[in-house]
Amino acid sequence: MNIQDVKTELSGDEKVLESAFKLETLYKKYKYIIWGVSAAIVFFFLSQTIMQSMKEAKLEEANKAFLTLQKSPDNAEALATLKTKNPALFELYSFSKAAHSSDAKTLQSLASSKNEIIADASKYTVAVIDKKPVDSKLYAELALFEEAYLAIKSGDTASAKAKLELIDDRSALQMLTQLLEHSMIKAK
């Protein structure tokens, strides 16, 4: 080994030591900030894990209550648990039960739900029970069909024909629409 190699090696070691001293100086200067940021990151991930665990436990309780209600619909404890743990599932369960039993009072209360789908379906179901026309986003074509049917029953074939023309030709109701139009022709 020659002198030049030794100088190069010592120079490299000096640079490593110099970097270590700079790093130590930076650490001493910003150690509270470094520890604070580290603690904040650990706290964030820890709180996220805890929140996720709590959410999963809440959903699991709601699902158990829902399964219990499917077996015994009169279980008040399961109904209360479902209502507190998962209000959206409670509304869906209430809608299903009320629609099945034609409970207009419950459906009327669900018509003011924050869940647009439950509210719209409830309004439509109440209108069907009461045999009244209703505007519906989910059941727009079905509502038009129902209105046309009610117009035919009342003898207003012109209004019925106008309602049936609003139903799209590609609709799943198109065959029924044609049958209803055909029945108007025969009725004349």
Number of Cβ atoms within 10 Å of the Cβ of 187:
9
How many structural domains compose the chain?
1
For residue range 156-165, list pLDDT tens digits in order: 888 888 888 8
In a domain, 184, yes or no: no
Give the integer Cα–Cα distance in Å for 163 and 145: 7
Q: Is the pLDDT of residue 188 over 60?
A: no
> How far apart are alpha carbons 50 and 103 in whole angstroms?
41
pTM of the predicted protein model: 0.64
In a domain, 14, yes or no: yes
Q: Is residue 180 part of a domain?
A: no
Residue 47: pLDDT band by 50, 70, 90 thresholds?
very high
Please check whether residue 10 lies inside any domain of the structure: yes
- The pLDDT of residue 9 is above 80: no
- 73 pLDDT above the threshold of 90: no
pLDDT at res. 85: 92
Residue whose structure tokens are 């509210």 = 119
Could you tell me the residue range of the domain that residue 47 belongs to?
Answer: 1-85
CB 66 within 8 A of CB 92: no
The predicted pLDDT at position 151 comes to 86
Tell which wins on pLDDT, 180 or 52: 52
Contact 119, 111 (CB under 8 A): yes
136-143: average pLDDT: 82
What mean pLDDT is reported for the chain?
Answer: 86
The verdict on residue 17 lying in a domain is yes
Nearest to 88 by CA among 64, 115, 69: 115
- Specify the pLDDT at position 133: 74
Per-residue pLDDT for 100 more than 70?
yes
The pLDDT score that the predictor gives to residue 154 is: 85
42 confidence band (pLDDT: 50, 70, 90) = very high
Helices 87-101 and 76-85: crossing angle in degrees, nearest 10, is: 130
Rounded mean pLDDT, 24-51: 93
Interhelix angle 116-130/140-153, nearest 10 degrees: 10
Please compute the mean of the pLDDT values over residues 69-81 and round it to a whole number: 90
In a domain? residue 168: no
Calculate the alpha carbon distances from 147 to 21, 56, 135, 143 in Å.
84, 45, 10, 6
The two tokens of residue 30 are 């910003």
- Within 10 Å of residue 133's Cβ, how many Cβ atoms? 16
Query: Is residue 23 in some structural domain?
Result: yes
Q: Do the domain assignments include residue 75?
A: yes
